[in-house]
Copies of this chain bind each other. A is one copy, B any other.
């Protein structure tokens, strides 16, 4: 179906619907309505109806959507169907954990290899190769890699980001707690765990003080 402009908030809800639909046991009803979905998830019916209409044209009045088709439509819309090959730079603790995390496959992400300025190991436990940075450009171009994951310390992130872009990367997923400057055609998504943890920790400290 024709792709429409879509807001970030819709994009946040779509994975929720998909996750719920996937969780329904085998042998559940073939069809599901926006109303049933809204009720199950405690969300507004109108919103759910609009969201689904954006990604699927399979809805039938009174009956709803065929569950299987709806899952396919959402997956396809979110790009989970197209497997995206990615490489990761910074094979420290976090980098290795991400390299070894097979759950990304569900979202169509396939991390081909890790790169590090000084690899301490040649392979992760799961057999993902870790190469020295000198092989980055060649590898990215040979494998036409378009997504790069950055798990280096903050102060090296910009430099690594620039290198990735020079290697043809168009989408950057970074775990370094720092703003990255990129050209307009490159998308950066920042996963800032250090900030999350600081916020949580500060909240707990404030709570403790109140109790005293």
Contact = CB atoms under 8 A, between A and B. Distances in A.
A16 interface: yes
A16 B178 contact: yes
Interface magnitude class on chain A: 35 or more
Interface string A29-64: 000000000001110000000000000000000000
Contacts of A200: 84, 147, 171, 173, 187, 189
A196 B201 contact: no
A103 interface: yes
Contacts of A207: 146, 170, 185
B198 A79 contact: yes
A121 to B, nearest CB: 15
Chain A binding surface, main DSSP class: helix
Nearest to A190: B196
Interface string A136-174: 000000000011000001110010000000000011010
A155 B12 CA distance: 14
A80 B94 CA distance: 18
Interface of A: 8, 11-12, 14-16, 19-20, 23, 40-42, 78-80, 82, 84, 92-94, 97-98, 100-104, 107-109, 146-147, 153-155, 158, 170-171, 173, 177-178, 185, 187, 189, 191-205, 207
